[in-house]
Amino acid sequence: MRVARAEYARVVKLAEQTPEVINAWNLTGEDSWVMEIAVIDVRHLDAVVTRFCILTETSTCIVLNAARENAAVLPARRQHIKPSIRKVTGK
């Protein structure tokens, strides 16, 4: 579920009070929050989304398939990191 801009503390409190919210990420961009929720059917989804609609706009999507999940995050290797661009001066 994506949640638009709303008062940070109110969103956090509602997320904490909603057992269906598994993960809640505050982020930059068009939406302020992305939440992973677990529901049993469309009626249940509607009930959860409605709680957040009181605060702000929401939108949802349903995962159909997972092509990759929980992949290990490996440390970056120096040779894979591009050097920063340096401004060339006449000095």
Asked if the structure places residue 64 within a domain, the reply is no
Would you state the structure tokens that stand for residue 74, as one six-digit string? 């490996």
How do residues 26-69 score in pLDDT, each as one tens digit? 999 889 999 999 999 999 999 999 999 999 999 999 889 999 98
Asked if the structure places residue 71 within a domain, the reply is no
Asked if the structure places residue 67 within a domain, the reply is no
Asked if the structure places residue 18 within a domain, the reply is yes
Asked if the structure places residue 72 within a domain, the reply is no
- The answer for residues whose C-beta is within 8 angstroms of residue 36's C-beta and 6 or more apart is 21, 22, 23, 24
CATH of the domain at 34: 3.30.70.920
C-alpha span between 3 and 25 (Å, rounded):
10
- The answer for residues whose C-beta is within 8 angstroms of residue 37's C-beta and 6 or more apart is 1, 18, 20, 21, 22, 45, 48
- For 54, the domain range is 2-59
Asked if the structure places residue 77 within a domain, the reply is no
Stated pTM of the model: 0.73
The tally of domains found in the chain comes to 1
How do residues 1-23 score in pLDDT, each as one tens digit? 999 999 999 999 999 999 999 99
Q: Give the CA count within 13 Å in the CB-facing half-sphere of 62.
A: 8
